[in-house]
Amino acid sequence: MNEMVSKIIDIVRKHDEWRHSTINLIASENIMSPLAESLYLNDMMHRYAEGKPYKRYYQGTKYIDEIEVLATELMKKLFNVDYAEVRPISGTTANGTVFYALGGCGKKALIPPVQAGSHVSHTKFGILGALGIEQIEMPYDKENLNIDIDKAIKMIEEVKPAFVVLGGSMYPFPHPVKEIAEAVHAIGSKVVYDAAHVLGLIAGKALSNPLDEGADVMTASTHKTFPGPQGGVILTNEKEIYKKVSRIVFPVFVSNHHAHRLPSLAVTALEMIEFGEEYARQVVRNAKALAEELNALGIKVLGEHLGFTRTHQVIIDVSDRGGAAELVKKLEDAYIITNKNLLPWDPPDAIANPSGIRLGVQEMTRFGMKEDDMKEIAKFIKRVLDGEEPEKVKKDVVAFRKQFQEVQYGYKMNEEALTRFKEYITLSMGIDLVK
């Protein structure tokens, strides 16, 4: 048994050491600050808090109630909204809650094509389909990498969907919220904006808040460009939508909502209030710098005529290099972590070996990298794509990454937090670290 425990600990240790030696360019990941991470380990992870604060179905939740209210108020303040629901445990759960509130079996929803960035939860294969809602794809402008506004408006008028979903997973350019919202509201329907990828850029004012542009409700993850704990959130200014989703998130989609993440969420919201604008501006600058350097090195980057990107994402086309499947493995061998991705012109069955690789710079920005560092990353990528042995590139990547180990744009784990962390270990596990 002790050997097995040692093996488990060793696997976790190896993972942590490895990922802190790599350049992580997964567009859907981030890291918390030391303070937020330390607060993630707390006794609330063992507890149930079904229902809403001060109206629970369990006793023993008085401090969970406090932190949930605080996290909710901070999210409302950060996004300047009237209502925030922090109980969804993922962005997908948040989506399902809103889809269920606005739609229902037999209803129709318009979404962008999957190849153009829609998340699987928006589709007939995900939670939308599981709810019996019909998925209808909006027309897409491949040249401008965005929704075809004129054709989409005509489709909205003809189909009269229960709601339209904007936002997505491959997202170098924001969707046209204002124009679509006007057409949707004219038929009495609603706009759902999935901000899972760009919530941190919205918080930092690098992108406009979709709720200010006409979206009726915004769903999101709290762990992508928003650098908090894994979880979800629903934001809206409409009281009736909030009342519906709050009655649905529990008991339909969530029982225990993993309350131990709420202190970390609250801390991250405070960090974004204090550092968010500086962080978000740097994310976008870094994405542009990476795209420009990759392009200068002869790698096909989508959206050159549009300035490559306005978000944290850079999308490259490697169809002329045999597709993405083998290349992302070679990049991983070189300690550069990316993901293969369908491009708008790929057929759906190309998922095993699509044309694209999606890159996101938010985590490396959080570790303090700037524009010149993005240019170095582009050169590493170029070397791998041109066929250099990944092991050779890896040595240079590891040396480069050693310069960037401290999280920026966030709070350190101060003496008070360190003492609390030690006290938790002492109380919960009987290991005396306080002395």
Between CA 281 and CA 276 the distance in angstroms is: 8
pLDDT tops 80 at residue 283: yes
**Does residue 373 belong to any structural domain of this protein?**
no
Convert the pLDDT of each residue in 187-210 to its tens digit. 999 999 999 999 999 999 999 999
**Beta partners for residue 219, in sequence order:** 194, 234
C-beta separation of 221 from 200 below 8 A: no
Kindly list the distances between the CA atom of residue 225 and the CA atoms of 2, 139, 257, 312, 353, in Å, as whole numbers in the listed order: 39, 27, 22, 8, 26
Residue 425: pLDDT above 70?
no
Evaluate whether 57 touches 51 at the Cβ level (below 8 Å).
yes
- Give the 3-state secondary structure of residue 120: helix
Residue 2 covered by a domain? no
Please state the separation of Cα 297 from the chain's center in Å: 29
Residue 399 backbone class (left: φ over 0; alpha: ψ -120 to 50; beta: rest): alpha
In a domain? residue 121: yes
| 381 part of a folded domain | no
Q: Which has the higher per-residue pLDDT, 18 or 430?
A: 18
- The two tokens of residue 380 are 């590493």
pLDDT score of 405 more than 50: yes
Q: Which residues contact 26 (CB under 8 A, 6 or more apart)?
A: 337, 338, 339, 360, 363
Inter-residue contact 219 to 233 (CB < 8 Å)? yes
Looking at residue 198, what DSSP letter applies? T
Query: How many angstroms separate the CA atoms of 68 and 85, rounded?
Result: 10
Identify the residue with better confidence: 114 or 434.
114
Strands of 77-203, DSSP E: 83-85, 108-111, 134-137, 140-141, 146-147, 163-167, 190-194
The top-scoring range by mean pLDDT among 163-177, 283-297, 403-417 is: 283-297
- Could you say which DSSP state residue 175 is in? -
Predicted TM-score (pTM) of the model is 0.95
pLDDT at 377 > cutoff 90: yes
- What pLDDT sits at residue 117? 75
Within a domain: residue 364?
no
When divided into structural domains, the chain yields a total of 1
Query: Does the structure show a pLDDT above 60 at 434?
Result: no
Question: What CATH number does the domain containing 216 carry?
Answer: 3.40.640.10
For the chain, the average pLDDT equals 94
Q: Are 172 and 309 in contact (CB under 8 A)?
A: yes
Give the pLDDT of residue 416.
Answer: 78
What are 347-368's pLDDT values in tens digits? 888 889 999 999 999 999 999 9
Give domain status of residue 66, yes or no: yes
- Asked if the structure places residue 155 within a domain, the reply is yes
For range 414-421, the mean pLDDT = 75
Range of the domain at 43: 35-269
- Both tokens of 89, joined, read 């445990």
The fraction of the chain above a pLDDT of 90, given in percent, is 84
Residue with the larger pLDDT of the pair 424 and 336: 336
- Split at pLDDT 50, 70, 90, the class of 432 is low
Nearest CA to 120 among 176, 165, 155? 165
- Provide the pLDDT confidence category of residue 435 given band limits of 50, 70 and 90: very low
Which candidate, 170, 29, 192, places its Cα nearest to that of 109? 192
The encoded tokens of residue 284 equal 């976008």
Q: Whole-angstrom Cα distance, residue 160 to residue 379?
A: 48
Q: What is the pLDDT of residues 230-243, one digit of tens each?
A: 999 999 999 999 99
pLDDT average, residue stretch 313-338 = 97
Question: How many Cβ atoms from other residues are within 10 Å of residue 330's Cβ?
Answer: 16
CB 381 within 8 A of CB 349: no
Is residue 424 a part of any domain in this protein? Answer: no
DSSP tag of 3: H
d(CA 163, CA 100): 11
Please state the three-class secondary structure of 397-435 as a single string: HHHHHCCCCCCCCCCCCCHHHHHHHHHHHHHHHCCCCCC
CA distances from 281 to 204, 229, 288, 295 (A): 7, 22, 11, 21
